Amino acid sequence: MRLLVVNANSLTRMMLERILSQEDAEGIFTCNSDDNFRRVIDECDADMVLICARKGYYGAHHLTSEFLKEGRFNDVVVMTESDSFYGTRSFAVLGNVRFIPQTFSKHDIEVLLNTHKRRNRALPLTDNTANPFADRVRSLIMKKNFSKMYAELDNLRNDICSAFAASEADTVEQLNGVCEIVLSMMGCTDEVLRKKYMEKFSFERGVLKDKFRTQFALFDMFSEVYKQRCIQKHPQFSKLFDYIDKNIYKEMTLADAAEACGVSQSYLSRELKESYGIGFNTYVQIAKVFLAKKSFYYNDDKIIDVAFQLSYNEPSYFCKVFKRIEGVTPTILKNEMMETREHVFA
């Protein structure tokens, strides 16, 4: 577990570090609200944030509100100097917040950690020795570079398929743990919604026996978590992704996308780059190439037909885009896919 402590004094930090050293906490990170604490948040990718209200309720209240709006953490804990009903109620109305006194005991922290573990079933699997894929997936999400994530899918897929060949049960369990981690990074705490996502991200044995279906499942998972984290920061971007989904087989422009979600082109381009590390056109190209691959694999569609379906007026340009993103031509990859299909479905 990674714990971020905000606005703690030196004595509080020392006590927390001493207690956590006896637990299975992976790390403790500290910062002050007047520091560049958002950079610290991105770097440590904490599972839980503990905000000390020692400087008055307003500052801590504001931070708590911001963290909950962004959905950055499953667990937000406020350490209060007072047990005032009115003070704690002002935090409680914000959402799912827990409290501990500033004069905390070892038992208070142990209860805090045990409750966190029960809420986050994936926690024991975040260690590399238990789950070799957890930190890789976490890193590909935290880097906020959709293009690099896409380029790494082949390697991740190959390692997963190799692990599955060596031990099916262990690999399925590890990937279920990865899905739990992804849900935590999405800030998804609703049990009904978590169940739906777990079904959507399912890495069943039939999928893991097929390297291309495994790759498709990985892309769907990464695509969803990138999208949800972007929407958490920019709620209006839900209209952007609706626009893309509805028009993926048509020509799309930045101007039309910006109009669809009610923002300027420059704002959309800048904020999408912040969340994805790429521009609008590159994101759309990756999404279309992914659909093309599924059409090749599942339907054995002709390259020229897929190009026209995806609104590429020139198949040669489609092939150029495809090779730039995939590293190989559509012909080479499709031939490999057909060979795999014959083996898998034989």
Helix (H, G, I), strand (E, B) or coil at 5: strand
CA 75 vs. chain centroid, Å, equals 16
pLDDT value at position 122?
43
Residue 159 carries which side chain, given as an amino acid letter?
A: D
2-120, which class in CATH? alpha beta
pLDDT band of residue 135 (cuts 50, 70, 90) is confident
Q: Helices marked H in the chain — which ranges?
A: 10-20, 37-44, 57-70, 85-92, 106-119, 134-142, 146-166, 168-185, 191-200, 205-208, 211-233, 238-247, 254-261, 265-276, 280-294, 303-309, 315-326, 330-344
pLDDT band of residue 35 (cuts 50, 70, 90) is low
Higher pLDDT, 197 or 40: 197
134-344, which class in CATH? mainly alpha
Q: What is the DSSP letter of 20?
A: H
Parts of the chain belonging to CATH 3.40.50.2300: 2-120
> CA 259 to CA 190: how far, in whole Å?
32
> CA 2 to CA 30: how far, in whole Å?
11
Q: In sequence order, which residues have a C-beta less than 8 Å from that of residue 318 and are 6 or more positions away?
A: 292, 303, 306, 307, 310, 312, 330
> CA 28 to CA 26: how far, in whole Å?
7
**Model confidence over 161-177: pLDDT tens digits?**
999 999 999 999 999 88
Report long-range pairs for 19-22 (Cβ below 8 Å, ≥24 apart): 19/106, 19/109, 19/110, 20/109
Pairing of strands 48-52, 75-80: parallel
Answering whether pTM is above 0.85, one says no
**Model confidence over 80-134: pLDDT tens digits?**
765 544 455 556 555 556 777 777 777 777 777 776 665 554 444 444 446 889 8
**Model confidence over 195-217: pLDDT tens digits?**
899 888 888 999 999 999 999 99
pLDDT value at position 73?
62
Considering the chain, what is the average pLDDT of its residues? 83
Give the residues across from 98 on adjacent strands: 77
If one counts every other C-beta atom within 10 angstroms of the C-beta of residue 24, the result is 11
**Model confidence over 301-336: pLDDT tens digits?**
999 999 999 999 999 999 999 999 999 999 999 999
> CA 87 to CA 61: how far, in whole Å?
10
pLDDT value at position 209?
93
Q: Output phi, psi for 50, to 5 deg.
A: -115, 115
> CA 142 to CA 42: how far, in whole Å?
7
Which tokens go with 267?
């704002």
**Model confidence over 211-257: pLDDT tens digits?**
999 999 999 999 999 999 899 888 899 999 999 999 999 999 999 99
Is residue 274 scored above 60 in pLDDT? Answer: yes
Taking the CA atoms of the chain, what radius of gyration do you get in angstroms? 23
pLDDT value at position 246?
97
